[in-house]
Chains A and B, each alone.
Chain A
């Protein structure tokens, strides 16, 4: 799941970024009741997209024996509220084509509302009820357990999922991040409606709420809507924060043997946080190295020149309590050691030689210019505004980001590469039957699945 999230982050954030302020005019709105939101007004299509998050209310709150609790909360909050049971609640949404959904990642609990303007009144009412008076009836809770268990059993035939699961276990060993945020087959079984009620009451409050809105709504109407939706929330009381953790098992390679023709390769080493002054420089380096797909050095060397893979990507992931630089790829079993050799070489080249002016210019143009392209729907705009707030970025972050990217020099890229890149610190997971590889350990049973 982590890898998936990392990619989503890649697509939504780094690609997303910039905009001259005339293009993305972010307004800060405060409701009469004191609820704050960021708004980008856009009346071109009669729809409203609202995304909100509860900071710190993600899967990191899950007790070890109730892994998946936060995920289950996200699955059940739209399954009945107030006087409406699950089927009635869903029927109201469906009849007016309103989408309400919740989701949970390691750090945060988030939700979204997408509605036609003409149905927005009912939409706000239903969302307000889902947030404040969710029912957690036994039937939907059981049903969502079954759905999650089925998802896990299906994922067990997906080697990418297995690799990601093992990476979480190895890279964050001993930390709450090593848990399975989607739950385990047995932990899900033990979750009760009361567990969900407790988590809901303690973790979703006005004090850890952030809201982002885009679409066909004015500042004034949003003010009213914010109170209507969120004013009934209590104050959240979150437990003490977990400690920071560096990538664990550095330099170790773990193998999970599976009778498949292609080996999945996942690697991760310590990285850089968004609050670091050199974060944008690291993004430029990562683009040139491997995040950009076609045109990146890794894709050139591994796919274009040698035909060894269908896809190879590097990424920067930044969670609240850790960060890393990772690589994901896959190749036929006999080519695994060749790919690992090329990765090592590219890591060195990035450190020993400055990038070319042309590589740098392409990276800058893309990182700055692709933002408006990725912001062509109300959902993508609201999604960007939400992630900026969850990461506690200032409202002018996009302008600052553009300035920083423009200022990056080849020397800056080389020095961040020297600071960050280190193949010897890689934690490596292989799933398949790689040839010519000596793993430090062979994993027989998947942790945090059963």
Chain B
């Protein structure tokens, strides 16, 4: 499934970069007014009432993703996600054969899909509210009742290999991203792409998928999120009746290897004759929300100041004033279980090299570190972030995505509901401290960045051979 898997995963962060901090704020002014329950079998339930249209989105999020794969089996989490549409039980109904899940949803006038990230795997259906019980019986049925046939595993393996060709092999920018992550996340599963390495994907078997499924898919390792024209009580009653039938089952604790304290900045250069527009990117390793909620919110504010729109620092300096780049931006995704990435990237205008642009980017980082961000910039950034919480309610799936993505990566419900109030307390001192800590080459806490160049063959930067660019000026 999942034409839009990656897009959707990305959307979570675009719609609303993660929620916030651990401290409880006393106010009833919540963003979504979600309700929360837990079944006896450990299934957590979030309900986000929204009565604008007579429809619901029903999502099940498993707290398992590509980063939980056994070594040598890269891609199995995503492959399993595909195989979940290849036949399954239905609670209180007839089994669905391969392909029937989505057909059934369409025959109800609904839409369904699924997506996989490093830390979670999610399945969703959007249907008229009257069909909520039907889709619940179907999704609950495949929580422990997957019935994929061996021959379907064979043909579906070819599909994921085609998916990899389409997304990655045919696309030099995607191949560079893959190699940069591999360089940043040494001795950590985030260095392996979600889709998997081709040579390992080719060998993934029915048993591999089955083992992964048996090990991780269980009510006590899942979150049910329902948004739309339904009440908490209605969902609770239905879920008790349907999901309540599934037995709890021991799921291992997530065990992830950790990254050694490397010192040297690395450079990755990918040249390909099809490249006409060079790109420079820098990846910094920074805390995720789960690792350090406070710093994570400060980093989000920093990113809003550096890169929130055409008047932001990076765009204004490199694109509007210096005119050496056609784009310049900074991004950060805090909704991950382990270390997060902060990425800076830019595309040079004709007549300028990636080194020229890199130098200009690093000048902006130096100005940030020397002079800091102002109180005005911080107040304005926070106000924009708070407005985004109002816009976030103007959607059916968006809020469900926000809760699922945040809760599977260690956020709490109150972090989301009180996010606007929590970020109101951030000061420019907080933002400057976090910039110093993670972007300064002097900082003991900063991991060395990975610099990546996407280039046509003739345009390699001169210092490419010594593998040690990336220093600030």
- By a beta-carbon cutoff of 8 Å, the part of chain A in contact with chain B is 15, 23, 42, 44-47, 49, 86-87, 90-91, 93-97, 114, 116, 139, 142-143, 146-147, 149-150, 153-154, 156-159, 215, 258-262, 292-295, 300, 303-311, 330-332, 358, 361-362, 365-366, 368-370, 372-373, 375-379
Q: What residues of A have a CB within 8 angstroms of the CB of B102 in the complex? A: 293-295
Neighbouring B residues of A370 by C-beta, 8 Å = 109-111
Residues from chain B with a CB closer than 8 A to the CB of A47 are 390-391, 394
Q: Given contacts A305-B155, A310-B159, are A91 and B311 in contact (CB under 8 A)?
A: yes
Are the CB atoms of B166 and A44 closer together than 8 Å?
no
Q: Is there an interface contact between B162 and A330, defined as CB atoms closer than 8 Å?
A: yes
Question: Least Cβ distance of A135 to chain B in Å?
Answer: 15
Beyond A154-B279, A295-B106, 9 extra complex contacts between A and B, CB < 8 Å: A91-B311, A97-B383, A156-B274, A157-B277, A294-B102, A300-B99, A307-B157, A307-B162, A362-B103
* In the complex, residue of chain B having the shortest beta-carbon distance to the beta carbon of A79: B310
At the interface, yes or no: B55 with Cβ under 8 Å from chain A? yes
19 residue pairs of the A-B complex, CB under 8 angstroms, read A44-B50, A44-B51, A44-B52, A49-B394, A94-B311, A95-B380, A97-B388, A143-B323, A149-B326, A157-B274, A158-B171, A294-B85, A294-B106, A307-B157, A307-B158, A307-B159, A310-B160, A311-B3, A365-B106
B117-155: CB near A (< 8 Å → 1, else 0) gives 000000000111000000000000000000000000011
When chains A and B are docked, how far (Å) is the Cα of A150 from the Cα of B158? Answer: 35
With known contacts A42-B52, A300-B99, A372-B55, A87–B320 Cβ distance under 8 A: yes
Interface membership of B347, Cβ < 8 A: yes
| Chain A to chain B: the 4 pairs with minimum beta-carbon distance, closest first | A369-B109, A307-B158, A376-B396, A97-B387
* B377-389 interface bits toward A, Cβ cutoff 8 Å, 1 = contact, 0 = none: 0001001100110
In the bound complex, do residue B308 and residue A372 qualify as a contact, i.e. CB atoms below 8 Å apart?
Answer: no
**In the complex, which residue of chain A has the Cβ closest to the Cβ of B129?**
A372
Q: Considering the chains assembled together, what is the distance between the CA atoms of A368 and B228 in angstroms?
A: 19
Chain B residues with CB below 8 A from A90, complex form: 309-311
What is the CA–CA distance of A331 and B166 in the complex, to the nearest angstrom? 8
Give the residue name and chain of the B residue nearest to A363 (CB). B106
Closest to A88 in B: B311
Closest residue of chain A to B390, judged by CB?
A116
- Chain A residues within 8 Å of B277, by CB: 150, 153-154, 156-157
Residues of chain A with a CB closer than 8 A to B85's CB = 294
Q: Which residues of the other chain, A, contact B94 by a CB distance below 8 angstroms?
A: none
Question: In whole angstroms, what is the CA distance A258 to B3 when docked?
Answer: 24
Q: How far is the CB of A188 from chain B (nearest CB, A)?
A: 12
**Chain B residues positioned under 8 Å from A143 (CB to CB):** 319-320, 323, 326
The main secondary structure of chain A at its interface with chain B is mixed
Interface residues of B in 149-199 (CB under 8 A from A): 154-163, 165-166, 169-173
**What's the nearest-Cβ distance from chain B to residue A387, in Å?**
19
Q: Is B108 an interface residue (CB 8 A)?
A: yes
| Residues in A neighbouring B393, C-beta threshold 8 A | 45
CA distance A369 to B158 in the complex (A): 33
Residue ID in chain B nearest A260 by CB atoms: B170
Asked if B446 CB lies within 8 Å of chain A CBs, one says no
* Residues B327 and A147 in contact, CB atoms below 8 Å apart: yes
> Closest residue to B391 on the A side, CB-wise?
A47
B134 to chain A, nearest CB (A): 13
B41 at the A interface (CB under 8 A): no
A95-B383, A156-B274, A293-B3 known; A146-B326 Cβ under 8 A: yes
The winner among A23, A46, A362, A368 for most chain B CB atoms within 10 A is A362
Cβ-defined contact, A261 with B311, below 8 A: no
User: Using Cβ atoms and an 8 Å threshold, which residues of chain A touch B22?
Assistant: none
B24 at the interface (CB under 8 A from A): no
> Is B458 on the interface with A (CB-CB < 8 A)?
no
Q: Assess the A307–B155 pair: CB atoms within 8 A.
A: yes
Our pick among A150, A157, A310, A377 for the contact of B396 (Cβ within 8 Å) is A377
* Contact status of A306 and B155, CB under 8 A, knowing A116-B387, A260-B170, A378-B394: yes
Interchain CA distance A215-B396 in the complex, whole Å: 15
Contact B109 A304 (CB under 8 A): no
Shortest distance in angstroms between B460's beta carbon and chain A's nearest beta carbon? 17
User: What is the distance, in angstroms, from A344's C-beta to the closest C-beta of chain B?
Assistant: 20
User: Counting chain A CB atoms within 10 Å of each CB, which of B156, B163, B166 scores highest?
Assistant: B166
Q: A47-B394, A304-B155 are in contact. Are A366 and B53 (CB under 8 A)?
A: no
B311 touches A153 (CB 8 A): no
| Other-chain contact of B128, A154, A159, A372 (Cβ < 8 Å) | A372
B279 nearest CB neighbor, chain A only: A154
In this complex, which of B272, B391, B397 has the most chain A Cβ atoms within 10 angstroms of its Cβ? B391
Q: Provide the bound-state CA to CA distance between A156 and B126, in Å.
A: 36
Q: Which of chain A's residues have a CB closer than 8 A to the CB of B384? A: 94-95, 97
Question: Which residue of chain A is the closest to B278 with respect to CB atoms?
Answer: A153
Within 8 A of A (CB), among B304-332: 308-311, 316, 319-320, 323, 326-327
Residues from chain B with a CB closer than 8 A to the CB of A97 are: 383-384, 387-388, 391
CB distance from B313 to the nearest CB of A (A): 12
Q: Decide if A375 touches B53 in the complex (CB within 8 Å).
A: yes
Report the separation of the CA atoms of residues A215 and B390 in the bound assembly, to the nearest whole angstrom: 13
Closest to A378 in B: B394
Identify which of residues 373-426 in chain B touch chain A, using a CB-to-CB cut-off of 8 Å.
380, 383-384, 387-388, 390-391, 393-398
CA distance A37 to B158 in the complex (A): 50
Chain A residue, CB-CB nearest to B385: A97
CB pair A376–B395 under 8 Å, yes or no, is yes
Q: Contact at B53–A369, with CB atoms within 8 Å?
A: no
A332 and B347 CA atoms in complex are apart in Å by 31
- Kindly list chain A residues whose C-beta atoms are within 8 Å of the C-beta of B111: 15, 370, 373
* Cβ of B231 under 8 Å from chain A: no
When the two chains form the complex, which single residue of B108, B159, B388 contacts A303, counting CB atoms closer than 8 Å?
B159
Contact B169 A260 (CB under 8 A): yes
B269 at the interface (CB under 8 A from A): no
Q: Which residue of A lies closest to B159 (CB)?
A: A307
Nearest residue, chain A, Cβ from B310: A90
Task: Please judge, given known A-B contacts A87-B310, A300-B99, whether A373 and B347 are in contact too, CB under 8 Å.
Answer: no
A249 to B273, CA, bound (A): 30
Bitwise interface map of B from 11 to 41 toward A, beta carbon under 8 Å scored 1, else 0: 0000000000000000000000000000000
**B276 in contact with A153 (CB, 8 Å):** yes
Find chain A residues with CB under 8 A from B161 CB. 332
B1 contacts partner chain A, Cβ-Cβ < 8 Å: yes
Query: With A and B bound together, what is the CA distance between A94 and B55 in angstroms?
Result: 33
A310 touches B162 (CB 8 A): yes
* A95 surroundings in chain B (CB, below 8 A): 380, 383-384
Tell yes or no: B275 within 8 A of A by CB. Answer: yes
Chain B residues with CB below 8 A from A372, complex form = 53-55, 128
Q: Select from chain A the residue with minimum beta-carbon distance to B381.
A: A94
- Establish whether residues B395 and A292, one from each chain, have CB atoms under 8 Å apart when the complex forms: no
B50 to chain A, nearest CB (A): 8
Query: Which of the listed residues B169, B170, B393 has the most CB atoms from chain A within 10 Å of its own CB?
Result: B170
- B48-71 interface (Cβ within 8 A of A): 50-55
Q: Which residues of chain B are near A146, meaning CB under 8 Å?
A: 323, 326, 349
CB distance from A184 to the nearest CB of B (A): 13
**Docked complex Cα distance between A310 and B103 (Å):** 18
Q: Is the CB of B172 within 8 A of A157?
A: yes
| Bound-state Cα–Cα, A376 to B397, Å | 9
